[in-house]
Amino acid sequence: MSDPTAIVSLKDVHKSFGPLKVLDGVSFSVARGEVMAIIGRSGSGKSTALRCIDRFERIDSGTIEVCGHRVDDPQVDLKALRQDIGIVFQSYNLFPHLTVEENITLAPCSVKRVAKAEAKSLARQVLAQVGLEDKLNSYPEQLSGGQQQRAAIARSLAMQPKVMLFDEVTSALDPELTGEVLKVIEALAADGMTMVMVTHEMGFAKGIADRIVFMHRGKVHEAGTAGILSAPATPELAQFVGTGF
């Protein structure tokens, strides 16, 4: 595709749910080590764009390329694609019947066929990364929301993805717990992880994102560095930033 350094690249992506056009010609690309924040109102298509990257949704037309995989190709190797992508959801989605350690070792053991002992040391390593070493043997329901979300991030990291997708990962948390999750994401950014995040945390986006994409009515309405938040070029972004949402 056009940009050989891009890890994620969308080109003229269209997607409708029935008569509702959710993505109307979306294009953007994310380079290695870059942090991109997608912002916009509810229903602007930002979450759908993210879900299309991991192929939870199939697109109607256009192209999506992630780490060399053609996501829009019906024959794409989903197993390989999902090993390169880590995704974290708003509702954590830890597996309630497994301990934190089992949540983390499940995918490395069953997808990558990593040996049990190796997976366990990997689990300790990623849990240390998110500050939850002591929760190895806890069940998800014994953790706070913030801890669950950090465990979910650790679970994704254990697959050693090349790019991480975050779908409004702090929206279910109260402000106090939001901070601890954002700190983990900041540390990842500092480590050079490529990330695409859909977020409502404007201050956070401003501080961490190399690039910001503002979506409006299924289109990339405005894009640029964090500077566009303080000096919007379009009235829609100005209004969005002005209202805070």
Partner 1 sequence: MGGDLNINHLEFLGHGALWTLGLSAMALIGGGLFGFVLALARIAPARALRWASGGYIQLIQGTPLLVILFLGYFGLAAIGFDLSPLVAAGASLTIYNAAYFGEIWRGCIQSVPKPQWEAAEGLGLSRTQRMFKVILPQAIRIATPPTVGFTVQIIKNTSLASVIGFVELARAGQIINNSLFKPFLIYAIIALIYFAMCYPISRLSRRLERRMALGRAQPIPA
Q: Which residues of 62-94 are buried (b: 16+ CB within 10 A; e: fewer)?
A: bbbbbbebebbeeeeeeeebbbbbbbbbbebeb
Residues contacting 106, CB < 8 A, separation 6+: 95, 98
Length of the chain measured in residues:
245
| Residue range at the interface with partner 1 (CB under 8 A); choices 1-9, 147-155, 186-194, 212-220 | 147-155
Q: If binding is defined by CB under 8 A, does position 148 make contact with partner 1?
A: yes
* Residue 54: φ, ψ to 5°: -95, 5
Q: Which of 37, 87, 132, 184 binds partner 1 (CB under 8 A)?
A: 87
Q: Which of 11, 14, 24, 106 binds partner 1 (CB under 8 A)?
A: 106
Q: Nearest-5° angle of CA 160, CA 164, CA 166?
A: 140
Kindly state the smallest distance separating residue 116's Cβ from partner 1, in Å: 14
| Residue range at the interface with partner 1 (CB under 8 A); choices 2-10, 35-43, 90-98, 177-185 | 90-98
Residues contacting 241, CB < 8 A, separation 6+: 202, 229, 232
Q: What is the DSSP string of 56-101?
A: SS--SEEEEEETTEETTSTT--HHHHHHHEEEE-TT----TTS-HH
Q: If binding is defined by CB under 8 A, does position 76 make contact with partner 1?
A: no
| Residue range at the interface with partner 1 (CB under 8 A); choices 153-161, 182-190, 191-199, 208-216 | 153-161
Closer of 120 and 211 to partner 1 (Cβ): 120
Answer whether 181's CB lies under 8 Å from 154's CB: no
Distance separating alpha carbons of residues 53 and 102, to the nearest angstrom:
27
Distance separating alpha carbons of residues 36 and 30, to the nearest angstrom:
7
Distance separating alpha carbons of residues 19 and 201, to the nearest angstrom:
31
Q: Which of 94, 123, 209, 215 binds partner 1 (CB under 8 A)?
A: 94
Q: Which of 1, 56, 73, 187 binds partner 1 (CB under 8 A)?
A: 56
Kindly state the smallest distance separating residue 201's Cβ from partner 1, in Å: 16
| Residue range at the interface with partner 1 (CB under 8 A); choices 41-49, 64-72, 84-92, 195-203 | 84-92
Q: If binding is defined by CB under 8 A, does position 90 make contact with partner 1?
A: yes
| 172-211 binders of partner 1 (CB under 8 A) | 172
Q: If binding is defined by CB under 8 A, does position 146 make contact with partner 1?
A: no
By CB under 8 A, name the binding residues for partner 1.
Answer: 54, 56, 78-79, 82-83, 85-87, 89-91, 93-97, 106-107, 110-111, 141, 145, 148, 152, 155-156, 159, 172
